[in-house]
Protein backbone atom coordinates (compact mmCIF):
# COMPACT_ATOMS: atom_id res chain seq x y z
CA UNK A 1 0.00 0.00 0.00
CA UNK A 2 2.75 2.43 1.00
CA UNK A 3 4.77 1.40 -1.97
CA UNK A 4 2.08 2.37 -4.49
CA UNK A 5 1.54 5.70 -2.72
CA UNK A 6 5.23 6.37 -3.06
CA UNK A 7 5.17 5.78 -6.81
CA UNK A 8 2.05 7.92 -7.13
CA UNK A 9 3.97 10.79 -5.61
CA UNK A 10 6.94 10.16 -7.88
CA UNK A 11 4.75 10.34 -10.97
CA UNK A 12 3.00 13.48 -9.72
CA UNK A 13 6.32 15.13 -8.93
CA UNK A 14 7.62 14.36 -12.41
CA UNK A 15 4.41 15.87 -13.79
CA UNK A 16 4.79 18.99 -11.66
CA UNK A 17 8.43 19.28 -12.72
CA UNK A 18 7.54 19.12 -16.41
CA UNK A 19 4.78 21.72 -16.02
CA UNK A 20 6.65 24.13 -13.77
CA UNK A 21 10.35 23.88 -14.65
CA UNK A 22 10.24 25.51 -18.12
CA UNK A 23 8.61 28.62 -16.72
CA UNK A 24 10.93 28.80 -13.70
CA UNK A 25 13.91 28.50 -16.04
CA UNK A 26 12.40 31.19 -18.29
CA UNK A 27 12.02 33.53 -15.33
CA UNK A 28 15.46 32.88 -13.88
CA UNK A 29 17.12 33.26 -17.27
CA UNK A 30 15.35 36.59 -17.80
CA UNK A 31 17.33 38.04 -14.88
CA UNK A 32 20.66 37.40 -16.63
CA UNK A 33 22.35 39.58 -19.23
CA UNK A 34 21.92 38.66 -22.89
CA UNK A 35 25.62 38.04 -23.49
CA UNK A 36 25.73 35.88 -20.39
CA UNK A 37 22.83 33.73 -21.68
CA UNK A 38 24.45 33.52 -25.09
CA UNK A 39 27.61 32.12 -23.49
CA UNK A 40 26.24 29.87 -20.78
CA UNK A 41 22.79 28.87 -21.99
CA UNK A 42 19.59 28.84 -19.93
CA UNK A 43 19.96 29.20 -16.22
CA UNK A 44 18.39 28.05 -12.99
CA UNK A 45 20.09 30.65 -10.82
CA UNK A 46 19.27 34.26 -10.07
CA UNK A 47 21.12 36.62 -12.40
CA UNK A 48 20.66 39.88 -10.51
CA UNK A 49 19.55 41.98 -13.50
CA UNK A 50 15.83 41.65 -12.81
CA UNK A 51 15.00 45.32 -12.28
CA UNK A 52 16.84 46.73 -15.28
CA UNK A 53 15.61 44.10 -17.76
CA UNK A 54 11.98 44.40 -16.74
CA UNK A 55 12.15 48.17 -16.59
CA UNK A 56 13.65 48.23 -20.08
CA UNK A 57 10.99 45.88 -21.44
CA UNK A 58 8.16 47.86 -19.88
CA UNK A 59 9.26 51.41 -20.55
CA UNK A 60 11.76 51.54 -23.41
CA UNK A 61 10.22 52.82 -26.59
CA UNK A 62 10.76 50.38 -29.41
CA UNK A 63 9.23 48.75 -32.45
CA UNK A 64 9.31 50.06 -36.00
CA UNK A 65 7.70 53.34 -35.02
CA UNK A 66 9.93 53.69 -31.99
CA UNK A 67 6.96 54.55 -29.79
CA UNK A 68 5.72 51.24 -28.39
CA UNK A 69 6.49 50.23 -24.83
CA UNK A 70 5.83 46.96 -23.06
CA UNK A 71 3.59 48.88 -20.72
CA UNK A 72 1.53 50.08 -23.64
CA UNK A 73 1.13 46.50 -24.90
CA UNK A 74 0.15 45.36 -21.43
CA UNK A 75 -2.53 48.04 -21.32
CA UNK A 76 -3.90 46.83 -24.67
CA UNK A 77 -3.95 43.24 -23.40
CA UNK A 78 -5.87 44.43 -20.34
CA UNK A 79 -8.39 46.30 -22.51
CA UNK A 80 -8.89 43.23 -24.68
CA UNK A 81 -9.23 40.85 -21.72
CA UNK A 82 -11.59 43.05 -19.71
CA UNK A 83 -13.58 44.28 -22.71
CA UNK A 84 -14.09 40.76 -23.96
CA UNK A 85 -15.08 39.32 -20.56
CA UNK A 86 -17.52 42.14 -19.73
CA UNK A 87 -18.98 42.20 -23.23
CA UNK A 88 -19.46 38.46 -23.19
CA UNK A 89 -21.27 38.49 -19.84
CA UNK A 90 -23.59 41.38 -20.71
CA UNK A 91 -24.53 40.08 -24.17
CA UNK A 92 -25.01 36.49 -23.18
CA UNK A 93 -26.98 37.19 -19.99
CA UNK A 94 -29.42 39.38 -21.90
CA UNK A 95 -29.82 36.88 -24.72
CA UNK A 96 -30.23 33.93 -22.34
CA UNK A 97 -32.79 35.91 -20.33
CA UNK A 98 -34.87 36.53 -23.46
CA UNK A 99 -34.69 32.88 -24.51
CA UNK A 100 -35.52 31.33 -21.12
CA UNK A 101 -37.93 33.83 -19.55
CA UNK A 102 -40.02 35.07 -22.48
CA UNK A 103 -42.65 33.46 -24.62
CA UNK A 104 -42.42 34.81 -28.16
CA UNK A 105 -43.03 33.36 -31.62
CA UNK A 106 -39.46 33.36 -32.98
CA UNK A 107 -37.79 32.00 -29.83
CA UNK A 108 -36.76 28.64 -31.30
CA UNK A 109 -35.53 30.25 -34.50
CA UNK A 110 -33.29 32.74 -32.66
CA UNK A 111 -32.06 29.99 -30.38
CA UNK A 112 -30.71 28.13 -33.41
CA UNK A 113 -29.40 31.29 -35.05
CA UNK A 114 -27.28 31.87 -31.95
CA UNK A 115 -26.20 28.30 -31.35
CA UNK A 116 -25.11 27.70 -34.92
CA UNK A 117 -22.10 29.89 -34.08
CA UNK A 118 -20.75 27.01 -32.00
CA UNK A 119 -20.26 25.10 -35.23
CA UNK A 120 -17.63 27.34 -36.81
CA UNK A 121 -14.75 28.77 -34.81
CA UNK A 122 -13.25 32.10 -35.86
CA UNK A 123 -10.14 30.36 -37.20
CA UNK A 124 -11.93 28.84 -40.16
CA UNK A 125 -13.38 32.15 -41.33
CA UNK A 126 -10.45 34.50 -40.72
CA UNK A 127 -10.06 35.87 -44.22
CA UNK A 128 -13.71 36.84 -44.87
CA UNK A 129 -13.94 38.20 -41.30
CA UNK A 130 -10.93 40.36 -42.04
CA UNK A 131 -12.55 41.61 -45.25
CA UNK A 132 -15.70 42.53 -43.36
CA UNK A 133 -13.62 44.46 -40.84
CA UNK A 134 -11.88 46.26 -43.68
CA UNK A 135 -15.20 47.16 -45.25
CA UNK A 136 -16.40 48.53 -41.90
CA UNK A 137 -13.07 50.35 -41.38
CA UNK A 138 -12.59 48.68 -38.02
CA UNK A 139 -8.99 47.49 -38.40
CA UNK A 140 -6.66 48.99 -35.81
CA UNK A 141 -9.46 49.88 -33.40
CA UNK A 142 -10.40 48.43 -30.03
CA UNK A 143 -13.89 47.73 -31.37
CA UNK A 144 -12.43 45.64 -34.16
CA UNK A 145 -10.23 43.83 -31.70
CA UNK A 146 -12.96 42.91 -29.22
CA UNK A 147 -16.42 42.82 -30.84
CA UNK A 148 -15.91 40.11 -33.51
CA UNK A 149 -14.62 37.76 -30.81
CA UNK A 150 -17.99 38.16 -29.08
CA UNK A 151 -19.82 36.54 -32.00
CA UNK A 152 -20.14 33.11 -30.41
CA UNK A 153 -22.67 31.39 -28.22
CA UNK A 154 -20.51 29.92 -25.46
CA UNK A 155 -21.60 32.37 -22.75
CA UNK A 156 -25.23 32.34 -23.83
CA UNK A 157 -25.31 28.56 -23.57
CA UNK A 158 -23.89 28.74 -20.08
CA UNK A 159 -26.36 31.30 -18.76
CA UNK A 160 -29.25 29.53 -20.46
CA UNK A 161 -28.38 26.36 -18.55
CA UNK A 162 -28.11 28.29 -15.33
CA UNK A 163 -31.36 30.24 -15.74
CA UNK A 164 -33.18 27.00 -16.44
CA UNK A 165 -32.00 25.62 -13.10
CA UNK A 166 -33.39 28.64 -11.24
CA UNK A 167 -36.65 27.54 -9.50
CA UNK A 168 -39.87 28.68 -11.19
CA UNK A 169 -41.26 29.75 -7.82
CA UNK A 170 -38.97 32.76 -7.80
CA UNK A 171 -40.60 34.22 -10.86
CA UNK A 172 -44.07 33.37 -9.57
CA UNK A 173 -43.33 35.10 -6.27
CA UNK A 174 -41.82 38.09 -8.03
CA UNK A 175 -44.86 38.47 -10.24
CA UNK A 176 -47.22 38.30 -7.27
CA UNK A 177 -45.17 41.13 -5.81
CA UNK A 178 -45.72 43.01 -9.04
CA UNK A 179 -42.18 42.87 -10.41
CA UNK A 180 -41.80 43.44 -14.15
CA UNK A 181 -39.17 41.92 -16.46
CA UNK A 182 -36.54 44.59 -15.70
CA UNK A 183 -37.00 44.49 -11.97
CA UNK A 184 -36.93 40.68 -11.87
CA UNK A 185 -33.73 40.60 -13.93
CA UNK A 186 -31.87 43.20 -11.88
CA UNK A 187 -33.17 42.40 -8.38
CA UNK A 188 -33.43 38.61 -8.58
CA UNK A 189 -31.50 37.04 -11.44
CA UNK A 190 -28.35 39.16 -11.40
CA UNK A 191 -27.70 38.69 -7.65
CA UNK A 192 -28.40 34.96 -8.02
CA UNK A 193 -25.91 34.67 -10.87
CA UNK A 194 -23.05 36.34 -9.05
CA UNK A 195 -20.87 33.21 -8.66
CA UNK A 196 -21.63 32.20 -12.22
CA UNK A 197 -20.66 35.63 -13.46
CA UNK A 198 -17.37 35.49 -11.55
CA UNK A 199 -16.57 32.04 -12.95
CA UNK A 200 -17.37 33.01 -16.53
CA UNK A 201 -15.48 36.28 -16.12
CA UNK A 202 -12.27 34.44 -15.22
CA UNK A 203 -12.53 32.04 -18.15
CA UNK A 204 -13.33 34.82 -20.60
CA UNK A 205 -10.63 37.16 -19.33
CA UNK A 206 -7.98 34.49 -19.80
CA UNK A 207 -9.41 33.67 -23.22
CA UNK A 208 -9.40 37.31 -24.30
CA UNK A 209 -5.97 38.11 -22.92
CA UNK A 210 -4.50 35.07 -24.70
CA UNK A 211 -5.96 35.83 -28.15
CA UNK A 212 -3.33 35.70 -30.85
CA UNK A 213 -4.61 35.05 -34.37
CA UNK A 214 -7.31 37.71 -34.42
CA UNK A 215 -5.15 40.53 -32.96
CA UNK A 216 -2.42 39.55 -35.44
CA UNK A 217 -4.82 40.12 -38.32
CA UNK A 218 -6.61 43.16 -36.94
CA UNK A 219 -3.73 45.27 -35.74
CA UNK A 220 -0.91 46.45 -37.94
CA UNK A 221 -0.51 49.68 -35.99
CA UNK A 222 1.89 48.89 -33.15
CA UNK A 223 -0.01 51.21 -30.83
CA UNK A 224 -2.71 48.53 -30.69
CA UNK A 225 -0.42 45.55 -30.14
CA UNK A 226 -1.16 43.29 -27.18
CA UNK A 227 1.62 41.50 -25.34
CA UNK A 228 0.69 38.14 -26.82
CA UNK A 229 0.49 39.60 -30.32
CA UNK A 230 3.84 41.36 -29.89
CA UNK A 231 5.68 38.09 -29.16
CA UNK A 232 6.33 37.24 -32.79
CA UNK A 233 7.64 40.70 -33.57
CA UNK A 234 10.24 40.22 -30.86
CA UNK A 235 11.33 36.94 -32.42
CA UNK A 236 11.50 38.44 -35.90
CA UNK A 237 13.80 41.23 -34.75
CA UNK A 238 16.30 38.56 -33.76
CA UNK A 239 16.90 37.36 -37.26
CA UNK A 240 20.27 38.84 -38.14
CA UNK A 241 21.16 40.23 -34.76
CA UNK A 242 24.46 39.11 -33.30
CA UNK A 243 23.53 38.38 -29.73
CA UNK A 244 19.75 38.08 -29.48
CA UNK A 245 18.10 39.73 -26.48
CA UNK A 246 17.15 36.43 -24.89
CA UNK A 247 16.65 38.09 -21.52
CA UNK A 248 14.13 40.60 -22.88
CA UNK A 249 12.23 37.96 -24.82
CA UNK A 250 11.91 35.86 -21.67
CA UNK A 251 10.91 38.90 -19.63
CA UNK A 252 8.19 39.68 -22.15
CA UNK A 253 6.94 36.09 -22.06
CA UNK A 254 6.78 36.25 -18.26
CA UNK A 255 4.85 39.54 -18.36
CA UNK A 256 2.47 38.13 -20.97
CA UNK A 257 1.58 35.16 -18.78
CA UNK A 258 1.56 36.86 -15.40
CA UNK A 259 -1.97 38.33 -15.16
CA UNK A 260 -3.88 35.29 -16.50
CA UNK A 261 -1.78 32.90 -14.41
CA UNK A 262 -2.36 34.98 -11.26
CA UNK A 263 -6.09 35.01 -11.85
CA UNK A 264 -6.26 31.27 -12.44
CA UNK A 265 -4.19 30.49 -9.35
CA UNK A 266 -5.93 32.94 -6.99
CA UNK A 267 -9.48 32.18 -8.11
CA UNK A 268 -8.81 28.50 -8.74
CA UNK A 269 -12.13 27.25 -7.40
CA UNK A 270 -14.25 29.61 -9.50
CA UNK A 271 -12.02 28.99 -12.48
CA UNK A 272 -12.51 25.22 -12.34
CA UNK A 273 -16.23 25.66 -11.78
CA UNK A 274 -16.51 27.99 -14.77
CA UNK A 275 -14.46 25.71 -16.97
CA UNK A 276 -16.05 22.37 -16.20
CA UNK A 277 -19.59 23.72 -16.27
CA UNK A 278 -19.45 26.00 -19.25
CA UNK A 279 -17.20 24.75 -21.95
CA UNK A 280 -18.97 24.35 -25.26
Partner 1 sequence: MRGASGLEGQQTTAKRVQFSSPFLPYLFLAPQLAIIFVFFYWPSVQAIQSSFYLEDPFGFGATFVGMSNYTDVLKSTEYLGIARFTAIFTALVTFFALSIGLLLAVKADGVIRGNATYKTLLIWVYAIAPPVAGLIGMMFFNQHIGPVVELARWFGWDMKVGLDYSDTAFAMIVVSVWKQIPYNFIFFLSGLQGIPVSVREAAALDCRSEFRRFWTVILPLLAPTAFFLLIINVTYALFDTFGVIDVMVKDKAANNPITLVYKVYMDGFRGSDLGGSSAQSVILMLVVLVLTVFQFRFIERRVHYS
Member of 150, 188, 192, 198 binding partner 1 (CB under 8 A): 150
Q: How far is it, in rounded angstroms, from Cα 50 to Cα 48?
A: 6
Q: What are phi and psi of 68, to 5 degrees?
A: -95, 130
By CB under 8 A, is residue 221 in contact with partner 1? no
Minimum distance from CB of 199 to partner 1 (Å)?
A: 11
By CB under 8 A, is residue 236 in contact with partner 1? yes
Give the C-alpha distances (Å, rounded to integers) separating 150 from 28, 117, 118, 121, 138. Answer: 37, 11, 12, 11, 15
Member of 79, 82, 198, 272 binding partner 1 (CB under 8 A): 272
By CB under 8 A, is residue 86 in contact with partner 1? no
Minimum distance from CB of 71 to partner 1 (Å)?
A: 18
Q: What is the CA radius of gyration of the chain?
A: 23
**Binding to partner 1 in span 174-213, by CB under 8 A:** 175, 181, 184, 206, 209-213
Q: Could you tell me which stretch among 51-59, 61-69, 84-92, 187-195 binds partner 1 (CB under 8 A)?
A: 84-92
Member of 38, 82, 86, 140 binding partner 1 (CB under 8 A): 38
Q: How far is it, in rounded angstroms, from Cα 117 to Cα 43?
A: 46
Smallest Cα–Cα separation from 77: which of 266, 211, 253?
A: 211
Angle between helix 268-278 and 194-209 (nearest 10):
90
**Binding to partner 1 in span 106-125, by CB under 8 A:** 107, 110, 113-114, 117-121, 123-125
Amino acid sequence: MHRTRFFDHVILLIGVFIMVAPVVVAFMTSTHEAADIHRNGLSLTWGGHFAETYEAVLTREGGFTGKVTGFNMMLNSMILGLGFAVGKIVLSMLAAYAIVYFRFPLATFFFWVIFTTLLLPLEVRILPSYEVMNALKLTNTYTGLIVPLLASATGTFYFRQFFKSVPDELLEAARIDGAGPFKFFIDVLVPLSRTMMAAIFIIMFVYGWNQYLWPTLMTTDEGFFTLVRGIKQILLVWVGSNIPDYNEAFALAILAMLPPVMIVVIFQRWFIKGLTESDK
